Amino acid sequence: MSPSFDETRFGEELPADVPDVGLEAVKRFTRTTGMRAGRFVDAEAARKEGLPGPIVPGIMSQGILAAVIHRWAPDAEVLRLDTTFRAPLLVGSRPTCRAVVTDRDEAARTVEVDLTLANEAGETRVVGTARVRLP
């Protein structure tokens, strides 16, 4: 059950998540979405593009951010999700996705949520801001 707007507080931290970005998960994602670029699933192809290894597709990272919101509030409506990709997230890494409520709009009954996706070294790779309508 989703928290209601009235139950949600400024500064509230959403439960963190450690998503699966292993090679098999990324292969499933790229097959499903029709993304054929080798940089996502092939180490040699990724290195030819100057990358240290296969990278997680940006749209998959966005999906991870949205999933954290929906795990916290399954009935929420994500109205907007702006994302900035700071650095590649490597396939096979163990990233952590964190989120915090950073604004509340009483009139619209929405909250703003800031999100980060960081690698196991604690380096932020993806940041996002979402506008979310709660029941």
Percentage of residues in the chain having pLDDT higher than 70: 100
pTM for this prediction:
0.94
In the block, residue with structure tokens 């991870």: 64
Paired tokens of 86 = 């700071």
**Domains of the chain, first to last:** 5-21+56-133 (3.10.129.10)
Residues 118 and 96: beta-carbon distance below 8 Å = yes
pLDDT score for 36: 86
Residue 121, beta-bridge partner list: none
- Average pLDDT estimate for 126-135: 97
User: Average pLDDT for residues 78-88, to the nearest whole number?
Assistant: 97
Q: Give residue-wise pLDDT tens across range 32-76.
A: 999 989 999 999 999 999 999 999 999 999 999 999 999 999 999
CA distance 15 to 109: 21
For residue 1, the model assigns a pLDDT of 84
Asked whether the beta carbons of 87 and 125 are under 8 A apart, the reply is yes
Phi/psi for 24 (5° steps) reads -65, -40
